[in-house]
Amino acid sequence: MIWREYAKQLKEVLALDGSPVGVAFSDTPSSNGKGDKIMACTAIYKAARKKATFNVSVQTCSCPGGTTSLGLAAPSPERAASVRKFLIEGEKFSSCNASFFRSRALSQGQPPLGVSKYVIIGPLEEFELNPDLVLFLCNPAQASRLVTLSTFETGIPLQAQLSGSTCSGAIAFPLSTGRINVTFIDNSSRHLVKGFKDSDLIYSVPYFYVRSIVESIPLSTAGTAQPGMNYNEIMKK
């Protein structure tokens, strides 16, 4: 399972506080996964920092918005209305119904409805299934290195979507677009999941990018390569 070796190397090179997190969409649960009632943002945190694996399903996802964002169930009209009301009047993330509508209609990441029965979230070095996504719970300096490693081979700039819920930005967007994304972890997740640090963000990578990231480590100074010239030499020219 090559992704387990990738996990060890990435954790060491980036000096992560915790583990890279694997995410897989599957119709069968992982044998080492828990079936606890849990929010997706909590599962991401516990996978990274507590090395726990979760089989998240429509029965175990405890967040209505997360159930939709993970594609586990389409909301009923009544549930959709209550979520909208909560985001406007409760969390106060949108100013009005129109603002809420635009935030959904203009989002490039769409919920993967009907893709699978389970969303498996766990530490990558213990992951059983071929992951669909790899998430890094990291700080801005580590994310900066990941941006360079992600673009080292292709040179193609990243296009991130920074708004939206934690699970939407970290899972739904990269899965549905095939693009790397960054989420700053929304205020509700930070309130409800006490372990998140102020400096934490989530850098989400479709798994097919990971080989390029790992192979770029010895070639780039964002990895382990040494500079070909120092900054004094550059500034003299």
Q: Which residues pair with 121 in a beta bridge?
A: 23, 54
Q: Is 203 helix (H, G, I), strand (E, B) or coil?
A: strand
pLDDT digits (tens, 9 = 90+) for 23-80: 999 999 999 999 999 999 999 999 999 999 999 999 999 998 899 999 999 877 777 7
Dig out the tokens for 159 from the structure.
Answer: 């296009």
Q: Is 60 helix (H, G, I), strand (E, B) or coil?
A: coil
Q: Is 38 helix (H, G, I), strand (E, B) or coil?
A: strand
DSSP 8-state symbol, 131: P
Look-up: residue for tokens 């090395």? 51
pLDDT digits (tens, 9 = 90+) for 64-119: 889 999 999 987 777 777 778 777 887 777 788 888 778 777 777 888 999 999 99
In terms of pTM, does the model score above 0.85?
A: yes
- Which element (helix H / strand E) includes 136? strand 133-138
> Which residues neighbour 233 within 8 Å (Cβ) at sequence distance 6 or greater?
none
Sign of CA dihedral 45, 213, 7, 33: positive
Q: 126-156 in b/e burial notation, b at 16+ Cβ within 10 A?
A: bbbbebbbbbbbbbeebeebbbebbbbeeee
